[in-house]
Structure 1
Amino acid sequence: MKKYIIGLGLILLSITIGNAQTKAEKKAEKELLTTQEFKNILKVVKSKSYEFEGEWATTQGGRRVNIFNNTNSLKMDGSHSKADLPFFGVVTGGGYNLSPGIEFDDDISDYSMSINQKKHRINIKYKVRSKAELYHVNITVFHSGRASVNINSTYRNTMTYDGEIIAIEASK
């Protein structure tokens, strides 16, 4: 009986050792996948034809709100940007012409994009005006297509949105 238990243990041990990947192989496979994902999302961002779909909004005070089921987006189409995002925060000044959410539909200015190949990250910054406000938009895109959008306004507290970048089809 003792021989059978020892034999079974050796068989199980040899099976697990034979099927296991080394740590270096796993790391290399993950790096290859990450690099390929990064190349794909970089191509989308460089085309300047994409849409950000928000899932979470975070106020300056740290309150996090699920906005997945709401209609919210930020579109980039060449040198034009359009946004319709909810706002949860404090508005200071600005009069009565402010919309309840963050809304703009205009050409952008001061556009810059920086690429961090090592961390597989893309940072995009630009300014855009609405009828009554100037918005500073900062987008951080990760290799997986996930993104964080930080919007600062002349009259509102800063808002951060977490979501996903999606390519806009050429037919739209």
Structure 2
Amino acid sequence: MLFKKILLVYLLMGFVTIGNAQSKAERKKEKAEKALAAYNEFKSLVDSGSYIFKADWVTTAKGRSINIQSGNYHLKVEDRKAEGSLPYFGVSQSAGYGQAAGIAFNADTRDYKVKYNDKKRRATINMNIDAKDEKLQIIMNASAGGSSISVSSSRRNSIRYNGMISKL
């Protein structure tokens, strides 16, 4: 009698374990499907050429991170034009009188290129911008979960911003 009860308990535990294994596999499959759907939505956003990057953090050339979430700092791309307003913390090689302290521009992009890494579900976006007083090279490493841009300038040290990319 005791043997039958023990056997029954083991059989029930086996069924519960099998049920859990199936649900884990299903959950893993659902998670992979959601991640793929998010990546495809992200790719269509980048392919549209109309998006905005909102900066939350800035990292200076010396590695100092500064929270800038309270400001409206962004890089907007629409129809091969770029408009941006980003703070700058660093060394400027040539600062003229009356120039803005931050990086501000509203100009056409040159050499706009997008390269996708489907394995890592990321995109690298390169663009050059001729701003009023300087030439900017912007490299954006973007994904559905977060993005960063690195800005190199003809008259300032490079600087990096972290944030999110979204629809306009």
How far does the alpha carbon of each residue in 1:136-162 deviate from its partner, in whole angstroms, 9 at most, with x for none?
0111111x2411111111111111111
Q: Secondary structure at the match of 1:95?
A: coil
TM-score scaled to structure 2, two decimals?
0.85
Question: Quick one: structure 1 residues 46 and 94, their matched pair in 2 at CA, closer, same or farther if it must change by over 3 Å?
Answer: same
Deviation at 1:106, TM superposition (A): 0.6
Deviation at 1:28, TM superposition (A): 3.5
Deviation at 1:60, TM superposition (A): 0.9
- Which residue in 2 is equivalent to 1:165? 165
Quick check: 1:94–1:132 contact (8 Å CA) kept in 2? no
Q: Distance in 2 between matches of 1:76 and 1:101?
A: 18
Q: Distance in 2 between matches of 1:21 and 1:54?
A: 41
Q: Which runs of 5+ in 1 are unaligned?
A: none
Query: Quick one: which amino acid aligns to residue 167 of structure 2?
Result: A
- Which residue in 2 is equivalent to 1:67? 68
Query: Quick one: which amino acid aligns to residue 70 of structure 2?
Result: N
Quick check: 1:41–1:145 contact (8 Å CA) kept in 2? no
Deviation at 1:69, TM superposition (A): 1.1
- Which residue in 2 is equivalent to 1:93? 94
Aligned pairs for 1:42-121 within 5 A: 42-121=43-122
Q: Distance in 2 between matches of 1:145 and 1:30?
A: 14
How far does the alpha carbon of each residue in 1:55-89 deviate from its partner, in whole angstroms, 9 at most, with x for none?
11111111001111111111001111000011111
Deviation at 1:95, TM superposition (A): 2.4
- Which residue in 1 is equivalent to 2:135? 134
Q: Secondary structure at the match of 1:125?
A: strand
Q: Secondary structure at the match of 2:36?
A: helix
TM-score scaled to structure 1, two decimals?
0.83
How far does the alpha carbon of each residue in 1:79-109 deviate from its partner, in whole angstroms, 9 at most, with x for none?
1100001111111124225311111111111
Question: Quick one: structure 1 residues 21 and 156, their matched pair in 2 at CA, closer, same or farther if it must change by over 3 Å?
Answer: farther
Q: Distance in 1 between matches of 2:110 and 2:30?
A: 40
Q: Secondary structure at the match of 2:120?
A: coil
Q: Distance in 2 between matches of 1:94 and 1:44?
A: 36
Query: Quick one: which amino acid aligns to residue 18 of structure 1?
Result: G
Q: Distance in 2 between matches of 1:66 and 1:13?
A: 52
Q: Which has the larger radius of gyration?
A: 2
Q: Which runs of 5+ in 2 are unaligned?
A: none
Question: Quick one: structure 1 residues 24 and 14, their matched pair in 2 at CA, closer, same or farther if it must change by over 3 Å?
Answer: closer
